[in-house]
Amino acid sequence: MNKLVEINNHKVRVKEFKGQRVVTIWDIAMVHGVKQETIRDNFENNVAYMSAVKHYFRVEKDSDFVRDLIRNGDVSQNAVNRANDIPVFTERGYLMIAKPLTGELAWLVQEEMVDRYFAVKNMLESLSPELKVLISMELKQKQLEQEITNAKLQVAQTKEKTQILEHRVNSLDATNINGTPRQRLNDMVRKYAYENGILYPQAWKEFRRSFNTAYRTNLETKKKNYLEKHKIKQLSYPEYLERVGLIEDALRVADKMLNQSKTA
């Protein structure tokens, strides 16, 4: 019980019981990065479908095997004291217990356990057809989930790039800034978004931050209080600034932002 196998950056001490390599609840929880209660619940929920010896053993807590676990630091004395017995799992049992754990990391850890701890590749020919099918299905499922994740990521990245491009195209008419003060402010913020390659809402967010800094205020709070006071459901920031006589201050802030953008 002195050989160590590294699984998911954790060192698992090799354990054998009655001629079979086994793992404990604590081992499984450690390598998968989950709570011991999660693994214990998985066992209790599936024990009706598992067979003693084939999938697991219940080891008496005063046995030499358990004393070795305590001595090697694989389990604490307190944990042993609280238990009636100590369940340990064969390769087949481990796969059943770990199967409810989902996500890419869970599949990678299972694969490492199969390949490195239980050494399935070296014993593949001796496995039952049922276990071969189970392993094959799990590996194929892992590969499919990874392909789906990669596809979703590519779609999200493409969508974001398309949105930025659309906002840039829509902002091309903002190079000639004129009209009413409110229209000019809208156009200046739109131009700022175009010149900095950001989305229009993000440009307004940066405008509000610059305005708050310049005039030591909180534009969001002041607008909210104004709407509540006058019982108005919605106002754009240019409309609000114009109503409260701050539109010229806003134009100065937007102009400064544009000048800084050009010199950056």
Question: How big is the chain, counted in residues?
Answer: 264
First to last CA, the chain: 64
The domain limits of the chain are 4-147, 171-263
40-84 pLDDT, tens digit each: 999 999 899 999 999 999 999 999 999 999 999 899 999 899 888
170-205 pLDDT, tens digit each: 544 444 556 789 898 999 998 898 888 898 899 999
pLDDT averaged over the chain?
85
Q: What is the largest CA-CA distance in the chain?
A: 88
Give the type of residue at 214. Answer: A
Collapsing DSSP to helix, strand or coil, 148 comes out as helix
**Range scoring the smallest mean pLDDT among 10-14, 131-135, 145-149, 160-164:** 160-164
pLDDT: which is higher, 158 or 18: 18
Exposure letters 177-189 (e unless 16+ CB within 10 A, then b): beeeebebbbbbb
pLDDT: which is higher, 117 or 120: 117
DSSP characters over 174-236: GSS--SSHHHHHHHHHHHHHHHHT--HHHHHHHHHHHHHHHHTS-HHHHHHHHHHHHT-S---
What Å distances lie between residue 89 and 56, 71, 166, 231, CA to CA?
A: 4, 20, 57, 67
Q: Distance between CA 244 and CA 212 in Å, rounded?
A: 15
137-168 pLDDT, tens digit each: 776 787 777 778 777 777 777 776 666 556 55
Q: Taking 80 as the threshold, does the pLDDT of residue 261 lie above it?
A: no
Q: Taking 80 as the threshold, does the pLDDT of residue 4 lie above it?
A: yes
Q: What predicted TM-score, i.e. pTM, was given to this entire model?
A: 0.46
Overall average pLDDT of the 206-232 stretch: 93
Overall average pLDDT of the 221-243 stretch: 92
